[in-house]
Amino acid sequence: MLATYPHHGRAYSFNPAAPLDISLPLAPGENQVNCFWAEPVQFDVIRVGDFVGSVALGGSTNYQRVHLTPHGNGTHTECYGHISPDPQATLNRCLRRFLFVARLVSVQPRPQPNGDQVVLLEDVRRELEGGPAADVPLEALVLRTLPNHRAKRTRHYSGTNPTYLEPALAHYLAEHHIEHLLLDLPSVDREEDGGQLLAHHAFWQYPHATRTHATITELIFVPDEVEDGLFLLSLQPTSLELDASPSKPVLYALGNMSS
């Protein structure tokens, strides 16, 4: 059964029983996506006295401690607190809505004279300004980079100078009121840029006109069979009082019912 979602005077249909999970799972071991020299995710069995938190080891329940680095392990969502000293700038305080109208677009990064691979404004703008959904006011952009290798699910990015965004693209998204950016890269900025973080600053318009409710979600993966188009995004982080949190973004294909 289809559900409806209202947006800017229009009604859209979507199937709540057909979710498209674009998150990468968090699991222990080396065969998981990793960036910025983060240690691998680790699950530790808790032992207290005679109690062992593992049914497989004879315990009554499974009870484990999780060691992870949100910015370096798996899909994560971050707020402007990532580049701000404000202790109140946590994702749990900044993200207060969880459903957004989004466009999925696929673009090919372009090589630069210094050898870097960069996603350029002109390529993303061309995709956003074309197609049947070009007139729909967007709240979120889901960016899939090409080619879309499945190796993105397990790649170790540290020290590889991965693809990043042209800062002008981040500024364009802010100007067009796109508050939530999701991408299949470790960062919107160059791995080593001397601490400038130009795209982060441009997207959040920090510090002069900070977009406190805007978020960036990194290390997603959108399978090839999911076609570019209009979606309802459900953004699902944990309630950590940190600048970033592991998250589970889920897409639902939107159909236009009325105008």
pLDDT tens-place string over residues 196-212: 999 999 999 999 999 99
Which residue type is seen at 94?
C
CA distances from 146 to 118, 174, 226 (A): 11, 23, 13
pLDDT of residue 132 exceeding 90: no
* 3-state class (DSSP) for residue 78: strand
Q: What is the mean pLDDT of residues 74-80?
A: 98
Reply yes or no on whether the pLDDT at 214 is more than 70. yes
Listed residue (71, 75, 73) closest to 29, CA to CA: 73
SS3 content of the chain, % helix, strand, coil (to 5): 15, 30, 55
3-class DSSP state of 151: helix
Distance CA 115, CA 24 (A): 28
8 A C-beta contact, residue 79 and residue 90: yes
Judge whether residue 259 has pLDDT over 80: no
| Average pLDDT value for residue range 129-134 | 88
pLDDT in tens, 14-41: 999 999 999 999 999 989 999 999 999 9
pLDDT for residue 244 is more than 90: yes
| Average pLDDT in the chain | 96
Architecture of domain 3-29+70-258: 3-Layer(bba) Sandwich (3.50)
Tell me: pLDDT of 170 over 90.
yes
Q: How confident is the model at residue 169 (pLDDT cuts 50, 70, 90)?
A: very high
pLDDT over 90 percentage in the chain: 96
C-alpha 152, offset from chain centre: 14
Q: List, in order, residues 6 or more apart from 122 with CB less than 8 Å away.
A: none
Q: Note the pLDDT of residue 258.
A: 54
- Residue 70 pLDDT exceeds 60: yes
